[in-house]
Structure 1
Amino acid sequence: MNQARRNPLNMAAMHGALILYTVIALFPVFVILINSLKTRKGIFREPLSLPDAETFSMIGYQTVLRQGDFFLYIQNSLIVTVVSLFLILLFGAMAAFALSEYRFRGNTVMGLYLALGIMIPIRIGTVAILEMMVQAGLVNTLWSLILVYTAQGLPLAVFILSEFMRQVSDDLKNAGRIDGLSEYTIFFRLVLPLVRPAMATVAVFNMIPIWNDLWFPLILAPAEETKTLTLGSQVFIGQFVTDWNAVLSALSMAILPVLILYVIFSRQLIRGITSGAVK
């Protein structure tokens, strides 16, 4: 009885903490949005106030839409982010399933080898990666970014998903084998639906770094037709003068696509975080 009474309290406290965290996390977004609708004087004089008749201005959005192909930058970022997440989840889940399901010599060593990418930053190999992309003829293509981000996200995906897949019931998988299901059918139809919260968690953890990355787009795909949103927004930041109206407007427009992706994954993410927290 006492345990039953504690559970609703624990759940309420957990949801309250998540709401508070969301408010804190969204406050910088709110500040960016309101300042994107102000004049330069309004931004610096009262950065936390709402725009009024004196400070309201759309000059930042007009500048963004006039200078550069901003919608192309958004399209490039969406393609790179979505395709990279798909490949990370697909190959990461397949590798995690193999490591958790099949016992073979070197299983532990292979798992540790795949997890090394979490500890070793991929930027250390930037020169070697650039040379490989030049030899493969992939410089100034979106595929160069997709391949790099996929390799960057796989270690964490394998590490997280393998732990979740070990918790999937062996009886369920063996029942599928008795019914004549292939290993691919067991993987896609039985195992993946049970680890969706973990996959959503992996997607969110990889989505933000990919969307906001400036380093690899600058090195591998700096051409105008392959610029990502983060790289394209740098045109408004100068060495001596920064067009803050345009920068904040560009950031405001960039928030919407990634916010939609976050909403898509958020429900499963919360389930993954709270899974097993309350018994």
Structure 2
Amino acid sequence: MNKARRNPLNLFAAHAILLTWTVVALFPVFVILINSFKTRKAIFREPLALPDADSFSLIGYQTVLRQGDFFGYFQNSMIVTVASLFFILLFGAMAAFALSEYRFRGNTLMGLYLALGIMIPIRIGTVAILEMMVALDLVNTLAALILVYTAQGLPLAVFILSEFMRGVSDDLKNAGRIDGLSEYVIFFRLVLPLVRPAMATVAVFNMIPIWNDLWFPLILAPAEETKTLTLGSQVFIGQFVTDWNAVLSALSMAILPALILYVIFSRQLIRGITSGAVK
């Protein structure tokens, strides 16, 4: 009998914490959604009340679809987010496998060097990054955002995946080597399927900051054809007047991909987060 069965209270406590965190995290989302279907007066008069016959309004969604290229912004955000997550998971898993599987001179220093990215925000190097993108002629391209977000997410991906890959059975990998499998086949066919919960956790943790980021799209890709959804939504926020109906409607539509991703990876995410609590 494993330890999780001998001590079910740890598993119950972990799930209770996750449930509480989910409720607390989703409450602001609920407030944004209900207010996106209200008139401007109702938003400020009763922000926590559900829309009724008097307060219900779709003016915000009509404004969003009428002004600006909302679907273009949405497409840019999807391309940047999906491509960045793909490279983060691919390169992060490969680096984590190398650090956890092979012993070489400088292994520990390499792990510490990669971990520095967690402690040092990438935005500190904004000026140098902008100069680099100008030199590479990548300003106002989605490739610039993909490169930056990939570099931003790799340290956390390597840190998390390394711990999970150390727990993969050495007997399984050695059996594959005895059967003549290459290291790439062992990595993709034997190791990756066993660390899917950790990869789902890394994907969710990196997806939210990338999808919601305003800083790098504003610096590196402010052109109309490369605007992301978050940057495109700023058109409704003025210095003196803000169209709150449009802002809340745009945010409501921007939240949908994050919620869909969470539903898809929820089981793997919970397994990845609670795995340390049930050992």
Partner of 1:125: 125
Counterpart secondary structure, 1:195: helix
Within the alignment, does 1:104 sit opposite 2:104 as a pair? yes
- 1:264 shift after superposition: 1.9
Gaps of 5+ in 1: none
- 1:262 shift after superposition: 1.8
Partner of 1:176: 176
Partner of 1:154: 154
- 1:52 shift after superposition: 0.9
Counterpart secondary structure, 1:181: coil
Partner of 1:50: 50
Code of the residue aligned with 2:95 in structure 1: it is: A
Return the alpha-carbon distance in structure 2 between the equivalents of residues 144 and 66 of structure 1. Answer: 29
Residue deviations 1:223-257, cap 9 Å, x none?
Answer: 01100000000000011111000000000111111
Identity, in percent, stands at: 89
Q: 1:260 to 1:5 in 2, by over 3 A?
A: closer
TM-score, normalisation: structure 1: 0.96
| Worse-superposed segment, 210-219 or 161-170 | 161-170
Partner of 1:89: 89
Q: 1:13 to 1:158 in 2, by over 3 A?
A: closer
Partner of 2:198: 198
Code of the residue aligned with 1:188 in structure 2: it is: F
Partner of 2:263: 263
TM-score, normalisation: structure 2: 0.96
Q: 1:87 to 1:184 in 2, by over 3 A?
A: same
Code of the residue aligned with 1:136 in structure 2: it is: L
- 1:261 shift after superposition: 1.6
Return the alpha-carbon distance in structure 1 between the equivalents of residues 162 and 11 of structure 2. Answer: 27
Q: What's the RMSD between the two structures over aligned residues? A: 1.6
Return the alpha-carbon distance in structure 1 between the equivalents of residues 109 and 10 of structure 2. Answer: 39
Partner of 2:145: 145
- 1:205 shift after superposition: 1.1
Residue deviations 1:137-168, cap 9 Å, x none?
Answer: 11111000000000000011111111111111
Q: 1:73 to 1:4 in 2, by over 3 A?
A: closer
Within the alignment, does 1:116 sit opposite 2:116 as a pair? yes
Partner of 2:164: 164
Return the alpha-carbon distance in structure 1 between the equivalents of residues 17 and 6 of structure 2. Answer: 16
| Worse-superposed segment, 3-12 or 88-97 | 3-12
Gaps of 5+ in 2: none
Decide whether the 8 Å contact of 2:164 with 2:198 is kept in 1. Answer: yes
In the alignment of these two chains, the number of paired residues is 278
Counterpart secondary structure, 2:167: coil
Residue deviations 1:84-105, cap 9 Å, x none?
Answer: 0000000000001011111111
Within the alignment, does 1:207 sit opposite 2:203 as a pair? no
- 1:15 shift after superposition: 2.7
Q: 1:5 to 1:262 in 2, by over 3 A?
A: closer
Code of the residue aligned with 2:180 in structure 1: it is: G
Return the alpha-carbon distance in structure 1 between the equivalents of residues 264 and 5 of structure 2. Answer: 32
Partner of 1:25: 25
